[in-house]
Structure 1
């Protein structure tokens, strides 16, 4: 006879799925294949946007009791740090964020979807991105019982110029503007309003 389920935290952090208590014993049910899934395509954003770096586990299960690490694997360690400690973009441990170990540039700019972690969603939201946030991001669950404990998502922040301007042109011959149906006359100066979008 199996009693009501207990949480992973009540059992052990290394148990990636639900556990059940039978008398004085605890049974953990492990999936055959657990994968950390990121995105094969880069996430493209403009400066000032809020972005979501997608990452989840398949099959889905509650990861609230596990440690989740988001970092930038291409960053070199701080040479002044003799221990070569990892600085995290976001660190989730013991069911809460650990801000003391995150990079200063991401302070108060990152968050997980806490209510969705029970479904295996470990996507990271980054607020107000800039071009300094460009690069690869690694999502890692160190104690996950799987061969695939990490996934990498690339973020591309592209600067965009969006403005309205008045451009004066000289039309050298009669021609038809197909988009508006207007006809321009030879040798006349025209002022037109244009919205220019550049990358």
Structure 2
């Protein structure tokens, strides 16, 4: 009887391991300078029991530089890269839904690259890769838009001035025509 129970537990454990998956987006995440972005990562969860022994680790895929680490029920940032200090956080209230996403504040150009999300719990472990691309600086976009708007306004003012000059010239020509017909001259 005990051996049957042991076999069933082993089968259940292997089945739970087979079900455990880590999911990350296939498309790159686009970030804007100075803004925050969320690198999405989710994992299979089977209720509160799967949160026991939960480990979440985010690293740069290229360098294995530690971006964020969570285990023993709290963040573990003593080995975190200084580049990410004070700029990263998880969503602990979302763990029960299988959310291991990390929020990255004040995005910088050097943040572009690939990130590895590693998740482990009593059900198993897995990892996924998230690519972060850096968009044009927001200030550059605003500056370019301001120049475009300024150019449109200058063009509109130029057109209005041309219309006024043509109207004045036509009025003057019509007055000169009327005066010449009356026999008077303009000096």
**TM-score, scaled relative to structure 1:** 0.60
- For this pair of structures, how many residues does the alignment match? 142
CA–CA distance in 2 between the matches of 1:142 and 1:58?
A: 10
- Within a 5 Å distance, the mapping from 1:110-125 to structure 2 comes to 110-125=88-103
* Greater per-residue helix proportion: 2
Structure 1 residue 119 displacement after superposition: 2.1
- Structure 2 match to 1:153: 130
* Greater per-residue strand proportion: 1
Q: Which structure 1 segments of 5+ residues have no match?
A: 1-25, 76-85, 171-183, 189-199
* 2:78 is aligned with 1:92: no
CA gap of 1:46–1:100, structure 2 versus 1, over 3 A, is: same
Q: Deviations over 1:41-62 (max 9, x none)?
A: 1111211111111111135544
Larger Rg: 2
DSSP-derived class of the 1:101 partner: coil
CA–CA distance in 2 between the matches of 1:141 and 1:55?
A: 9
CA–CA distance in 2 between the matches of 1:105 and 1:74?
A: 15
Structure 1 residue 120 displacement after superposition: 1.3
CA–CA distance in 1 between the matches of 2:122 and 2:58?
A: 15
- Structure 2 match to 1:71: 59
* 2:116 is aligned with 1:130: no
**TM-score, scaled relative to structure 2:** 0.63
Q: Which structure 2 segments of 5+ residues have no match?
A: 1-8, 164-187
Structure 1 residue 65 displacement after superposition: 2.6
CA–CA distance in 1 between the matches of 2:98 and 2:92?
A: 10
